[in-house]
Structure 1
Amino acid sequence: MFRSLALKMAENAAKRLKTDNGVVAIGTHNGHFHADEALAVYMLRQHIPSYANAKLVRTRDPKLLEQCDIVVDVGGEYEPARHRYDHHQRSFNTTFPERATKLSSAGLVYMHFGRQIIARRLGQPEDGEQVGLVWNKIYLSFIEALDAHDNGISAYDPAGIAAAGLEKRFSDGGFTLGAMVGRLNPNWNDPIPEDPVEAQAAEDKRFELASHRIGEEFDRDLDYFTTAWLPAREVVAEAFAARTQYDPEGRVMVLKKQSAPWKDHLYNLEEQAPESGKPLYVLYPEKPTPDAKWRIQCVPVSKDSFQSRKPLPEAWRGFRDEELDGISGISGSVFVHAAGFIGGNKTFEGALAMAQKALL
């Protein structure tokens, strides 16, 4: 039954191709779908003009795939010149530049078309520096997780985890980007329409939903990194260059006007200037107004670490207001977190005094 249904579904796909002369077609496999091809199709249709109105053909029939203008995640071929982007063949070992994770169809499409997507959003040439920064950042923050998921690569080395005797304390629900798409597939015992046209249509409808769902998350990242993260680079670079104004060794960095996403940019700037002093504290106003209170935040040892390079003094931690004034000897105190990674003062001068005293 299932084999005959599959054959009828393939025949139906062939009829769709024959009746859509002149319409660009994107091919991918039918059946159980995954996050990588769902996102690959979305990026092409929503962000690449030549595929904006493309017909989607979901099949495993080589003859039907041959008629498609571009094929992702099926067909056993990786040939960019012919727009074939599969990664399942034994000979495939392509990775994103300077990364070790083998690509999936999402990574392949992003590697070849991502610069175009970002360049169009920024209104800049594809080989521009800012386009390259965002292209690399979105891969690291979003696409690589899909590549790893589809290729069965764990974020942590299983052998290392076992050797350390580490066990999960609770279930996190398994809610990853890949799982988010996977749960949109039909359940094993959901009824399948007997009519092959209806069966394929029902399956394709689910895929379309999954493609738009993962695509929404991609678009949120694209919007964030082009409109918020990238402009913050200039703000952080200015503060990084001026940090010796507040400490001769450059250990205090001040974001003068308002807070901005600073961690990624700070670590990147430090890599470019390895001989200069590394900031230990970052100061910034809580809001962009003259009467704003100021925060002092410790720089973590790494982006995702909870360990600070130099925590605020232990004697200050967990205290507030006048009591903290008396302990620290600095007026205008607001608080210091019990973990010592952040504090606040009513004025910039007070926050700077906290930083300079904490350096001692």
Structure 2
Amino acid sequence: MAESATKRLKISPVTIGTHNGHFHADEALAVYMLRLLPTYNDSKLIRTRDPALLDTCHTVVDVGGEYDAAKERYDHHQRTFNTTFPNRPTKLSSAGLVYMHFGKAIIAQKLGVAEDAEEVSVIWEKIYTSFIEALDAHDNGISAYDPKAISAAGLEKRFSDGGFSLGAMVSRLNPNWNDPTPSDPVQAQAAEDEKFLVASARMGEEFSRDLDYYTKSWLPAREIVHKAYQKRLEHDPQGRILVFDGQSVPWKDHLYTLEEKEGGEAKILYVLYPEKPVPDAKWRIQCVPVTKDSFESRKPLPEAWRGFRDDELSGITGVDGGVFVHAAGFIGGNKTFEGAKTMAVKALDI
């Protein structure tokens, strides 16, 4: 019978096992995420497919043919494997498995709060959908779009994007087929492992940057957006204008989430905010996109205003203090809040 993970931990340093050979973004990130936690800070790494060696490891990711969190086994290549992140459709890779089980601990450690804190769950879900899920899909060969629907619509790519995804980036860090390889197997494995550690650090850099953003910027913005949303009826009886009094914050994710929870047909059309957090700052009017990543606005600023600036714009709009309206109509500006708000109110009815 195999030793328990607890017994192995007591008798040897914590060791993470993963496969050798061609490496991928999912296990590169899985190893990095584990090493963020105290248990794995000083862990050893064994890259092998030898079952006997893997059995000596405290934790194994992306190899071994077994998913059993109680035994710290996180492989997803089994024929019967179909585990997904809660409320998401994408089959997990080793990155998703490790994140699902250890992500809350990583986030709680970053925030200095308990794992069951509400903000931990909010960020845990957000980082999965904005970062980890794409890696899971890439490793499992799942397209972002339905290939049959694309084919039926007759859509073709206009140009090559060069495969500039995180998965492709990690793939390029693997040894080339004609790179010199040490004749000694131990040295050859060590050279390959060095390249893997470069890939793991590179993936970790992206993950840590995401974690920093969502804990230090995105999360604090959430409360500010919520407060502005609660005051939306003060600026328009139908609640179509959102105003940030102090300065702009990352608002799109939070706004769409609030609208979804609220339900109904009413949607924010314009967001107003000062260019800088100073008393005499100019103000911007930004149109809300149809979706977070869309270039199409729910209601662009009037076509007759677009491309004009300063006094000429003020004459066209009938609002003093005009600064500009972008030629595409998705953003404009005024010297004062009152002017920006008046422009937004007029635009609602045009």
**Paired residue secondary structure (2:284):** strand
Give 1:28-39 correspondences, 5 Å limit.
Answer: 28-39=18-29
Amino acid at match of 2:114: P
Distance 2:264 2:148 in 1: 36
1:294 is aligned to: 283
2:16 is aligned to: 26
Deviation at 1:34, TM superposition (A): 0.2
The partner residue of 1:258 within 247, 254, 257 is 247
**Paired residue secondary structure (1:155):** coil
2:341 is aligned to: 352
Deviation at 1:278, TM superposition (A): 1.7
Q: Deviations over 1:281-337 (max 9, x none)?
A: 000011111111110011111111111111111100111111111110011111111
1:52 is aligned to: 41
Amino acid at match of 1:38: A
Amino acid at match of 1:31: G
The partner residue of 1:100 within 89, 92, 101 is 89
Deviation at 1:276, TM superposition (A): 7.2
**Paired residue secondary structure (1:307):** coil
2:63 is aligned to: 74
1:7 is aligned to: none
Q: TM-score, normalised by structure 1?
A: 0.93
Q: Which moved more, 1:68-77 or 1:297-306?
A: 297-306
**Paired residue secondary structure (1:295):** strand
2:4 is aligned to: none
1:40 aligns with 2:30: yes
Give 1:10-21 correspondences, 5 Å limit.
Answer: none
1:303 aligns with 2:292: yes
1:8 is aligned to: none
2:234 is aligned to: 245
Amino acid at match of 1:342: I
Deviation at 1:22, TM superposition (A): 2.2
Amino acid at match of 2:179: D
**Paired residue secondary structure (1:27):** strand
1:257/1:276 CA distance change after superposition, 3 Å: farther
Q: 4+ runs of 1 displaced by more than 6 Å?
A: none
Aligned residues: 341
2:5 is aligned to: none
1:10 is aligned to: none
Amino acid at match of 2:248: S
The partner residue of 2:212 within 219, 223, 231 is 223
Distance 1:328 1:208 in 2: 59
Q: Deviations over 1:58-116 (max 9, x none)?
A: 00011110110000000000000000000000010000011111000000000000000
Distance 1:101 1:120 in 2: 27
Amino acid at match of 1:83: E
Deviation at 1:277, TM superposition (A): 2.9
2:3 is aligned to: none
Amino acid at match of 1:285: P
The partner residue of 2:318 within 325, 329, 354 is 329
Distance 1:324 1:171 in 2: 41
Question: Aligned-residue CA RMSD in angstroms?
Answer: 1.3
Q: TM-score, normalised by structure 2?
A: 0.96
Distance 1:240 1:155 in 2: 32
1:150 is aligned to: 139
Amino acid at match of 2:33: M
**Paired residue secondary structure (2:158):** coil
Amino acid at match of 2:108: A
Deviation at 1:273, TM superposition (A): 1.1
1:280 is aligned to: 269
**Paired residue secondary structure (1:114):** helix
Distance 2:147 2:264 in 1: 36
Amino acid at match of 2:55: E
**Paired residue secondary structure (2:17):** strand
1:188 is aligned to: 177
1:122 aligns with 2:118: no
Q: Which moved more, 1:77-86 or 1:270-279?
A: 270-279
**Paired residue secondary structure (1:171):** coil
1:319 is aligned to: 308
Structure 2 residue ranges without an equivalent (≥5): 1-7
**Paired residue secondary structure (1:154):** coil
